[in-house]
Amino acid sequence: MKSLLFRVSLLAALFLGGSALAQNSLRIAAVVNDEVISVFSLDSRLALVLASSPQRNLPEARKRLAPQVLRSLIDDRLKLQEARRLNIRVMKDEIDRALVLMEERNGLPKGGLDDFLARNGVYKPVLIEQVEAGLAWLKTVNRRWRGRIDIGDDEVDAVMAEMKANKGKPEYRVGEIFLAVDDPTHESDVRLLAGRLIQELDSGARFESLARNFSQSASAAVGGDLGWIDQGQLSPEIDAAVARLRPGTISSQPIKTLDGYYILLLRGRRADPGLGTGEATLTLQQLFLPLVPNPSQADVTRMVAEAHSLAALARNCTDMENLAKQSGSTMSGSLGKVQVSKLPPTLRAVVQDLPVGRPSQPIRLGEGIAVLMVCERDQRDVSEDAVRRKIEDKLLADRLSIAARRYLRDLRRSAFVDVRI
């Protein structure tokens, strides 16, 4: 078995400007089995990560994040290699749909993703490879493990009984970034990464973006969103940490568990509805104030204050519609009727429990600041069969996530990875 070699000590030369950078971009960052990851690919992925942060794309920020971003690139290459070994392919239309969804989640207009990438120095094929790796890995894990996992009726019955018993008890909407410790000798590196990501979040980086780029949980695909979690449903360490958080805050320190380290975001807290109600459909209005390109923190703060002032004028959806027209932004206006579950995690957390006719707090959404208002809420009772299917899907997803982490760990252990810089 080949040994996994991690010798990540990135040189300052990686971050030089001008012709030196052009020459350096042709260098090899790492070799993964028999395939090369270039410094150019690393540089572009770094630009993609920093595009979601209020920090400037400066050498010190790049140097701080480079080792972790390189590891993500290595993992993506391992996933693609395993998919090819199993003759699993991702079609172009699947990638195109994923890119459209990415536009929507980041509040970009149709076709706006290309402009966003160009503005931030991101080479689009590098993003496409990241998307392809995620889709290929999902197919690979499902082919290898889905048929081996059986969810019994007794397991579903037990969860339903617990849901009934928990009605009225505290329930939390949680976001996670999970960093696995596959090898105890690398634990200090993982802990250091977790600390650095918390620093990025404290500086204003978007939780969803860091979760997609760094988290090793299945929830990474939806920005780390775990949905509503009952107290006692997670491990004791996670439960205790969540109970200490206020809505809208993140854990100040990485939380260590048997499998690795977690960074948590508490999106909301409520009384458990028990078996609950059916899918909510909302009619939404949005006021969107675009930011200047590459905004500073002062620019963001100023626009948030302006959004606060405008939102205070909206007493109902007619007011919001008028404000949207006055804004002149094509992103302002009616969002129509949408199912809550189909919304991006950021928007879902904002409107899930927002009273009808009340403007939300301003939120950073892609290239601007948004305020939302629920004009109508249609929520119907859910059938017991629908609850059972939802529980079964959740149990299956949890077990596939565990299998995926072990699968990737085994691929890392058997691979030859030579980091050249």
Residue 407 has pLDDT above 90, yes or no: yes
CATH classification of the domain holding 303: 3.10.50.40
Residue 163 falls inside a structural domain? no
Q: What percent of the chain has pLDDT over 90?
A: 34
Pair (16, 142) in one structural domain: yes
| Same domain assignment for residues 173 and 239 | yes
* Per-residue confidence band for 4, with pLDDT thresholds at 50, 70 and 90: very low
258 belongs to a structural domain:
yes
Greater model confidence, 120 or 9? 120
Q: What is the pLDDT of residue 94?
A: 95
Residues 16 and 141 placed together within one structural domain of the fold: yes
Confidence check: pLDDT of 75 > 90: yes
Does one domain contain both 122 and 54? yes
- Whether residues 253 and 288 fall in one domain: no
Q: State residue 166's pLDDT score.
A: 80
Q: Which residue has the higher pLDDT, 260 or 340?
A: 260
Q: Strand 28-32's sheet: what is its strand order? A: 35-38, 28-32, 417-419
State the Cα angle at 406 between 405 and 410, rounded to 5°.
Answer: 120
Q: Does residue 45 contact residue 69 with C-beta atoms inside 8 Å?
A: yes
Q: Count up the domains in the chain and report the number.
A: 3
The reply to whether 140 falls in a domain is: yes
Residue 389 inside a domain? The answer is no
Residue in the structure block whose two tokens are 């030579």: 418
Query: Would you say residue 185 lies in a domain?
Result: yes
Q: What does pLDDT average to over the chain?
A: 84
Q: Are residues 355 and 292 in the same domain?
A: yes
Is residue 115 one of the residues assigned to a domain? yes
Do 258 and 302 reside in the same domain of the chain? no
Residue 314 has pLDDT above 80, yes or no: yes
**The pLDDT value given to residue 167:** 80
Quickly count: other Cβ atoms within 10 Å of residue 331's Cβ: 21
Task: Among 273, 294, 327, identify where a domain stops.
Answer: 273
Predicted local confidence at residue 23, as pLDDT: 52
- Domain harbouring 98, CATH code: 1.10.4030.10
Closest Cα to residue 72, out of 26, 127, 18, 12?
Answer: 127
Q: Are residues 367 and 267 in the same domain?
A: no
Domain range spanning residue 101? 12-146+413-419
- Residue identified by tokens 């100023």 is 302
pLDDT given at position 53: 67
User: Rounded distance, CA 48 to CA 328, Å?
Assistant: 29
Q: Higher model confidence: residue 80 or residue 226?
A: 80
- Number of helices (H) and strands (E) in the chain: give both, helices first: 14, 11
- The residue out of 273, 292, 316 marking a domain boundary is 273
Q: Are residues 217 and 132 in the same domain?
A: no
pLDDT digits (tens, 9 = 90+) for 14-52: 343 444 444 555 689 999 999 999 999 999 898 888 886
pLDDT band, residue 168 (cuts 50/70/90): confident
Residue 150 has pLDDT above 50, yes or no: yes
Are 55 and 136 within one domain?
yes
HSE of 191, CA atoms in CB hemisphere, 13 A = 10
User: Do 234 and 258 lie in a common domain?
Assistant: yes
pLDDT band for 95, please (50, 70, 90 cuts): very high
Distance CA 404, CA 235 (A): 19
336: left (phi over 0), alpha (psi -120 to 50) or beta: left
Length of the chain: 421
How confident is the model at residue 79, as a pLDDT? 96
- Does residue 388 surpass a pLDDT of 80? yes
Q: Model confidence at 82, in pLDDT bands (50, 70, 90)?
A: very high
**75: amino acid identity, one letter:** D
User: Per-residue pLDDT for 372 more than 90?
Assistant: yes
Interatomic CA distance for residues 388 and 157, integer angstroms: 8
Whole-prediction pTM: 0.70
* 389-409 average pLDDT score: 89
pLDDT recorded at residue 14: 37
Last residue of a domain, one of 212, 244, 273: 273
pLDDT at 374 over 90: yes
Average pLDDT rounded to a whole number, residues 273-301? 82
More confident: 377 or 381: 377
Q: Are residues 18 and 116 in the same domain?
A: yes
Distance between CA 302 and CA 260 in Å, rounded? 39
Q: Is residue 296 part of a domain?
A: yes
Q: What pLDDT was estimated at residue 266? A: 92
Band the pLDDT of 11: cuts 50, 70, 90: very low
State the pLDDT confidence band at 247, using cuts at 50, 70 and 90.
confident
29 assigned to some structural domain? yes
In this model, does residue 273 exceed pLDDT 90? no
